[in-house]
Structure 1
Amino acid sequence: MKKTNGRWIIVILLFFATTINYMDRAIIGVAGPSMMEDLSLSAVEFGILGSAFFWSYALMQVPVGVIVDKLGARLTYAVAIVWWSLCTIFIAFGRSIGTLIGIRILMGIGEAPAFPTNTRVISDWLPTRERGIANGIFNSGTAIGIGLTTPLIAWVIENWGWKASFIGIGSIGFIWLLFWLHYFRNHPHQSAIANEAEVEYIEAGKIDTNQKTTKMASPFQFLKYKSAWGLLFGLFAHNYLTYLMMTWLPTYLVVERKMTLLKAGFFTMLPWIMSFIGNILGGYLSDSLIKKQWNSIKARKTILAIGMLFPLAIIPTIYIENATMAIILLSIAIGGEGLAAGILWATVSDVAPKGAEGKLAGLQNFVGNLAGWIAPALTGFLVYQFQNFTWALMIPAMICCLASFGYAFLVKNERISIKTDVDRNIV
Structure 2
Amino acid sequence: MQTEKATKKRFVIGFLLFLGVVINYMDRSNLSLAAPLLGHDLHLNSVEMGFIFSAFGWSYAILQIPGGLLVDRIKPRLLYAVLLCGWSVATCLQSLVNNFSALFGLRVALGAFEAPSYPTNNKVITTWFPEQERATSTAFYTSGQYVGIAFFTPLLVYIQSTLGWRGMLFLTGVTGVLFSLVWYLFYRSPKDSKANEAELDYIRRGGGLVDADEKENGKKADWLQLKYVLKNRNIWGVFIAQFCLSSILWFFLTWFPTYLVQYRGMAFIKMGFMASLPFLAAYVGILLSGFISDTLIKRGHSTGFARKVPIVTGLALATSIVGANYVQDQTAVILFMALAFFGNGLASITWVFVSALAPSNLLGLTGGMFNFMGNLSAIAVPIIIGILAKGGNFKPALVFISALALIGALSYLFIVGEVKRIVVPEKADQIQLQK
Aligned-partner Cα distance in 2 for 1:103–1:221: 36
- My pick for the range that moved more, 413-422 or 254-263, is 413-422
Aligned to 1:400, the other structure's residue is in SS state helix
Post-superposition offset of 1:303: 2.1
Please name the residue that 1:76 is paired with: 79
Select which of 339, 346, 353 maps to 1:347: 353
Q: Any conservation in 1 of the 2:126–2:209 contact (CA below 8 Å)?
A: no
8 Å CA contact retained: 2:19, 2:144: yes
> In 2, Cα distance between the equivalents of 1:191 and 1:182?
12
Q: Return the alpha-carbon distance in structure 1 between the equivalents of residues 361 and 133 of structure 2.
A: 19
8 A Cα contact 2:95 2:166, kept in partner: yes
Structure 2 residue 330 is the aligned partner of structure 1 residue 323: yes
Range with bigger deviation, 390-399 or 174-183: 174-183
1:12 aligns to 2:15 (yes or no): yes
**Residues of 2 paired with 1:376 and 1:21: CA distance?**
19
**Structure 2: gaps of 5 or more residues:** none
Paired AA for residue 376 in structure 2: L
Shift of residue 158, structure 1, vs aligned partner: 1.2
- The answer to whether structure 1 residue 124 and structure 2 residue 127 are counterparts is yes
Q: Paired residues, what number?
A: 423
Instruction: Answer whether contact 2:81 2:184 (CA < 8 A) is retained.
Output: yes
Match of residue 249 from structure 1: 256
2:412 matched to 1:407?
A: yes
- The 2-side partners of 1:150 and 1:164 are apart by 15
Q: Would you say 1:398 and 2:400 are equivalent positions? A: no
* SS of residue in 1 equivalent to 2:158: helix
- CA drift at 1:208: 9.2
Name which of 283, 295, 302 aligns with 2:302. 295
Distance in structure 2 (CA, Å) of the matches to 1:95 and 1:392: 29
Identity over aligned pairs, percent = 35
Could you tell me how far apart the structure 2 residues matched to 1:176 and 1:30 are? 22
Q: Report the equivalent of 2:67.
A: 64
Contact 1:21 1:145 in 2 (8 A): no
Contact 1:254 1:264 in 2 (8 A): yes
Letter in 2 for 1:104: R
Question: For each residue in 1:335-376, what CA deviation from the matched residue of structure 2 results, as whole angstroms up to 9, or x when unmatched?
Answer: 0221111x1111210111222221111001111111011111
CA deviation vs aligned residue, 1:49-76 (integer Å, no higher than 9, x gap): 0001111110000111111011121111
How big is the shift at 1:235?
1.4
**CA–CA distance in structure 2, aligned partners of residues 76 and 244 of structure 1:** 29
In the other structure, the counterpart of 1:373 is 379
Determine if contact 1:274/1:331 at 8 Å carries over to the other structure: yes
Tell whether the 8 Å contact from 1:286 to 1:299 is kept in structure 2 after alignment.
Answer: yes
Unaligned 5+ runs, structure 1: none
- Cα distance change, pair 116–425 in 1 and its aligned pair in 2 (3 A): closer
Q: Does 1:237 align with 2:244?
A: yes
1:189 to 188, 191, 194: 191
Tell me, in whole angstroms, the C-alpha distance in 2 between the residues paired with 1:36 and 1:96.
Answer: 10
Q: CA deviation at 1:179?
A: 2.4
Would you say 1:144 and 2:147 are equivalent positions? Answer: yes
Misfit runs of 4+, over 6 Å:
207-215
Closer, same or farther: CA 207–98 of 1 in aligned 2, 3 Å = closer
288-297 vs 314-323, which deviates more? Answer: 288-297
Q: Which residue of 356, 364, 368 corresponds with 1:362?
A: 368
Offset, 1:417? 3.1
Q: Which residue in the other structure is 2:207 paired with? A: 206
**In structure 2, which of residues 94, 99, 119 is the aligned counterpart of residue 96 of structure 1?**
99
Alpha-carbon distance between aligned partners in 2 of 1:307 and 1:24, rounded to the nearest angstrom = 26
CA 1:166–1:226 in 2, change beyond 3 Å: closer, same or farther? same
CA RMSD of aligned residues (A): 2.0
TM-score by length of 1: 0.95
Q: 1:302–1:408: 8 Å Cα contact kept in structure 2? A: no
Q: Shift in Å at residue 199 of structure 1?
A: 0.9
2:353 alignment partner, SS class: helix
Amino acid at match of 2:274: F
Question: Could you give the per-residue CA deviations for residues 388-415 of structure 1, whole angstroms, max 9, x where no partner exists?
Answer: 2111111111111111111122122222
Question: Which residue identity does 1:412 align to in structure 2?
Answer: G
134-143 or 144-153: bigger deviation: 144-153
Displacement after TM superposition at 1:425 (Å) = 7.1
Deviations 1:16-63 (A, max 9, x none): 100100000100000000101111111111111000111111000011
- Cα distance in 1 for partners of 2:228, 2:280 equals 38
Alignment of 1:39 with 2:42, yes or no, is yes
- Give the AA of the match of 2:307: R
In structure 2, C-alpha distance between the alignment counterparts of 1:229 and 1:315, rounded to whole Å = 27
In 1, Cα distance between the equivalents of 2:431 and 2:319? 45
| Aligned-residue offset at 1:283 | 0.8
1:279 to 280, 286, 292: 286
- Contact 2:126 2:208 (8 Å CA) reproduced: no
User: Does residue 180 of the first structure (1) align with residue 187 of the second (2)?
Assistant: no
C-alpha distance in 2 between matches for 1:33 and 1:359? 38
* Aligned match of 2:422: 416
Contact 2:89/2:177 (CA < 8 Å) preserved in 1?
no
Task: Return the letter of the residue paired with 2:310.
Answer: I
Per the TM alignment, residue 422 of structure 1 is displaced from its structure 2 partner at its CA by 4.2
* Post-superposition offset of 1:292: 1.1
Moved more, 174-183 or 11-20: 174-183
1:293 shift after superposition: 1.6
Q: CA deviation at 1:294?
A: 1.8
Counterpart residue identity of residue 411, structure 1: V
Cα deviation 1:170-224 (Å, max 9, x = unaligned)? 01112222321222123x12112x1121111111111799999896326454331
Query: C-alpha displacement at 1:324, in angstroms?
Result: 0.3
Normalising by structure 2, report the TM-score.
0.93
Q: Cα gap change, 1:216/1:407 in structure 2, threshold over 3 Å: closer, same or farther?
A: farther
Paired letter, 1:251: T
Question: What amino acid is aligned across from residue 198 of structure 2 in structure 1?
Answer: A
